[in-house]
Every structure is written in structure tokens, then in C-alpha cells.
Amino acid sequence: MTPDALFRPEDDCYHQLSGDPYETETNWWCFNVPERKLGCWLHTPYYPNRRTVTWRVFVWDGDGIDPGHMAYYKKVEEAPMPDDPDLRDITFPAGGYSLKMLRPGMEYHLMYEDSDQDFALDFTFTGSHPPHRFQPGEPPFLQTPHFDQLGRVEGVMTLRGERIPIDCHSVRDRTWGPRGGPYTTSPKAYASDAERVRAPGGPRWRQIERERGRGRVQYIFGHAGADAGFLGFVRVQDADASGWAPMNVGWVLKDGVFGRIDKTRSRMLNFRDPRTGWSDHMQVVAVDEGGRTLEIEGFAVSRMSEHGYGTNSLMRWEFDGKIGWGEDQDVWQPAHFRRVLGALRSVR
């Protein structure tokens, strides 16, 4: 990375880049317990110009998808934040989780407890490498600084009173800056739906899926420990008629060495469940700028969906003779998803 793209210890603090009321700074943590088909998120967007924060903690497994049926779900919206909050040592208001930086950019301790539901978290995240910042100007982070970081997550979760060990490699990310509105809002206007498609043809549902200007984001990652795996943002809008979509930013991790995604050669082909419309099975070819290649196949093992359209899936990946674990984050506008689902369910 160029020197201006490196992160500094002060980047563990909050930032403020504009007076935009939608300026947002997030911190996101996730982990999994594959033996239980279990995924967990802690996610907190802070709105510095509104001086409020929204936090959520949730766990999903194979038994429930929506908030009312997930293993655990708690969300608090727009809670007032104290003056000058310090992200290096903070407990989020209204019962949120605590976050303490132990080593700048590399090591963190998180705790959370909801005694009413016999639920608690106590774990550390230790980075496997310094945070990887993506170069500015690439979708979906055209203006906002963003990084992803692979690390080892170790600790314990208490779920319905049962203590479950946590020991996996997973990803955290941070994003900050003005947004001008939610990411799912697009200012683009087109004369017709047909003109939104760069490469017409192929199955009807795939053609609808790759309509441009719909705010679509798809983010996939999977790792088999600290020395093998991949991460990428998929440009579904730029897919060809057969469904192969390029990956524009991310990494290939092979033999312990990171390489930046070659966006001219890296791609993903997704297969959706015709009953639900959700991602079910994927093929991925991830190539770095040095030509190293991972050929990857993945299956959704369990899912969560807060609203019934976009989903987060726990994914089991196979590559280079290894089994890795990670996620597929599939973001939609609801009306767009309903059209794709209608095409998938069509009988004529």
C-alpha cells in the first residue's frame, strides 16, 4: 500500500470528515462456530453529526432465519452517544457491547451480556496482518475509507445458558466518512429496466439481478486459518449473460502471503434457491496480481435475514484441498429482490 493508505494508531479512534448528516463510522466483528452452523455479528454504526449510535448483536444457526427465530437478536437504534466517545475503550449506550483496544490496529477485547436471555460474549480478536485498506475510488467505497482485516477470534459465547468455545479465523472491518444517504439508495435514473443491463441475455432472473443502479452489493470471504483464503467484493452489475461477475477489490491469501485481487481475472458465479431467492451455491475464481489462483466452491450452511430479502450466510468453502469458513453478504433493495424472486418462481 502507498504511505497515504496505511493506517495509524489514531485510526483506532473515531473520525469526522464532513457535516453530512449521513456521515457514518462503523465497527463490525464476526465469528463462526462451524460445528454448530453458527455465525455471529456485532455491528455498530455511529453518526457523529447526529451524535447517535445504532448497535446490534445477533447469532444465527440452522434453526431460524428472521430476528424472531434467530438464536439471538438484539438491536438498539439511534441511542444518544456521550461527548467525545473514545472507540479505543468504550461501552456502547443502552446496554451495548464493550470494546477495548489492546494493541493498536491488531488486538481487541470485546464483551457483551444480556442476562435476561442468558446470553453473553467474551472474546479477543488478534489480527493476522495489519489492516488492508482498499484503494479509494472502487465500488462500493467510492469516497469512504474502508479496511478489512483477517484475525483469530478466541473466547466464549453463552447461548441460552450454554457455554460455547469460540476459536476461528474471521474478518472485521471499519468504514468512515460521508455517505449522502444509505448505500442502498441510488441517484441513478434510466429510461427503462432493459437499459440498466450491460450484457443482455441469459436466464431472466440473472438479467434482472444484474440491473445497474440498484445499490446491489455482494461481499464474500472464506479462510482456512491464518495462511489460506480469500475476500472480495463482487460487481454483480457487471456480470456477463451467463452470470459470471467480476470481483473488483479484495485479496488472495496463499501460503501465508497476501496478494491483491486482479479484478480483470477474478470472478464469481452464484446459484440461487428458486424457493427463497437466496444464495445457495457458488463457484469463485480468485486471482491475485501476481497470477496466483484459487479455484473455490462454496455452499450456504445457515442464513439470517433481518427483512426477508438481503441475507448473511455462513459459507463452507473448499479450495486447495482445504475447508474454509466465512460468509456471503447479499445486499438488496426490496423491490429489486422481489422481481428476481418472481422470475425464479415463474412457471411460464
CATH of the domain at 8: 2.40.370.10
CATH of residue 293's domain is: 2.40.370
Instruction: Let me know whether 203 and 173 are in one domain.
Output: no
Q: How many domains is the chain built from?
A: 2
Instruction: Let me know whether 230 and 331 are in one domain.
Output: yes
pLDDT digits (tens, 9 = 90+) for 216-252: 889 999 999 999 999 999 999 999 999 999 998 899 9
CA angle centred on 184, ends 334 and 279, rounded to 5°:
55
Domain residues for 311?
Answer: 194-345
Instruction: Let me know whether 165 and 234 are in one domain.
Output: no
Instruction: Let me know whether 238 and 172 are in one domain.
Output: no
For residue 243, being part of any structural domain is answered with yes
For residue 263, being part of any structural domain is answered with yes
Instruction: Let me know whether 325 and 222 are in one domain.
Output: yes
For residue 131, being part of any structural domain is answered with yes
Alpha-carbon distance 214 to 332, whole Å?
8
Half-sphere exposure of 178 (CA within 13 A, CB side): 6
CA angle centred on 316, ends 289 and 253, rounded to 5°:
25
Instruction: Let me know whether 8 and 145 are in one domain.
Output: yes
Contact indicator for 220, 327 with CB cutoff of 8 Å: yes
pLDDT in tens, the chain (348 residues): 455 567 889 999 999 888 989 899 999 999 999 999 999 999 999 999 999 999 999 999 989 999 999 999 999 999 999 999 999 999 999 999 999 999 999 999 999 999 999 999 999 999 999 887 776 667 677 777 888 999 999 999 999 999 999 999 999 999 998 877 765 555 555 556 768 888 889 999 999 999 998 888 899 999 999 999 999 999 999 999 999 999 988 999 999 999 999 999 999 999 999 999 999 999 999 999 999 999 999 999 999 999 999 999 999 999 999 999 999 999 999 999 999 999 999 999
Instruction: Let me know whether 141 and 53 are in one domain.
Output: yes
State which amino acid sits at residue 129.
H
CB atoms near residue 153 (< 10 Å): 21
For residue 231, being part of any structural domain is answered with yes
Instruction: Let me know whether 125 and 24 are in one domain.
Output: yes
Q: How far apart are the first and last CA of the chain?
A: 52
Domain end marker among 122, 150, 177: 177
102: left (phi over 0), alpha (psi -120 to 50) or beta: alpha
Instruction: Let me know whether 158 and 209 are in one domain.
Output: no
